[in-house]
Amino acid sequence: MAVTDEPALRADDLHYAYGDRVAVDGVSLSVSRGEILGLLGPNGAGKSTTIKMLIGLLPPAAGRIEVLGMPMPQQRMQIQARIGVVFEEKNLYPNLSGRENLAFFARLFGLADVDLDALLERVGLGTRGRDRVSGYSKGMRQRLTVARALVNRPDVLFLDEPTDGLDPVSARSIRALIRAEAERGVAVLLTTHDMYEADALSDRVAFINEGRILALDAPERLKLTHGQRSVRVRRQVGDTVEETVVALDGEELRALIGRDGLLTIHTEEATLEDVFVDFAGRGLE
């Protein structure tokens, strides 16, 4: 992957509150070209509010945002021409076909030379592009939303819960598209409350809880540094099978291995959820 040092997106000490409710409380992050940064946190953690500030939908109460070297919101129009956004609220036109939806969006950008058929092909809607969106499945709509975000060949892509509620096949095809965009040098920021998604897609993961970033690192490093590996041991005890989970490097394991009736021993890697609990004192759900 072509990750470079130059950050395409940088946010410093962002704050936002809805009335008295603090939603974002000092968030700083940066995303390089070709990099996928996953913002992982439970419902209400402040992920959507952070993205809304980064794409210019909400003005930060405090903090600084720079996208492609331009300050947000001061250069909002110039920035919006060069970013792509996949947001939870998917405002597609149901009575138009998928292709017409894309054409409409391309016109908004003043782009005349977009190869809409190639774009529809890329998101697996090649044969359904002329059908009305009202007849699309949830996965097809989401793929069309991703296609729409790619109409202007963006340099930075923002995706809020891109695979939420999709079946595994649709989710996989959207993940493949996101990876392909990063491969061509796009900086990607995505939010998710799904640790598998964060782990599978992100070069780096930021844990967010109660509006604050608790940790930010490569998923492997988070798991290795903070997660404790465990061992699942199954033993035959009389007529029953007893299953115990113990730490990999503890006395307990040595004691168990010395006993009779050993059936299986499996090491288990820490998950991002385990590490998240370590930092936040709560899980992702």
Binding site for ligand ATP (CB under 6 A): 18, 21, 23, 41, 43-49, 193
Show the tokens assigned to 188. Answer: 């990607």
**In whole angstroms, how close is the CB of 258 to ligand ATP at the nearest point?**
47
Of 16 and 136, which CB lies nearer to ligand ATP in the complex structure? 16
Q: How far is the CA of 226 from the CAs of 50, 84, 219, in angstroms?
A: 26, 34, 11
Helix (H) or strand (E) holding 190: strand 187-192
**In whole angstroms, how close is the CB of 165 to ligand ATP at the nearest point?**
12
Residue linked to tokens 């296609």: 147
- Torsion, Cα 189 191 197 198, to 10 degrees, reads 70
For 247, the 3-state DSSP assignment is strand
- Torsion, Cα 196 248 223 276, to 10 degrees, reads 70
**In whole angstroms, how close is the CB of 18 to ligand ATP at the nearest point?**
3
Of 193 and 235, which CB lies nearer to ligand ATP in the complex structure? 193
Of 41 and 219, which CB lies nearer to ligand ATP in the complex structure? 41
Q: How far apart are CA 30 and CA 7, in angstroms?
A: 6
Of 44 and 185, which CB lies nearer to ligand ATP in the complex structure? 44
Of 122 and 193, which CB lies nearer to ligand ATP in the complex structure? 193
**In whole angstroms, how close is the CB of 210 to ligand ATP at the nearest point?**
8
**In whole angstroms, how close is the CB of 211 to ligand ATP at the nearest point?**
7
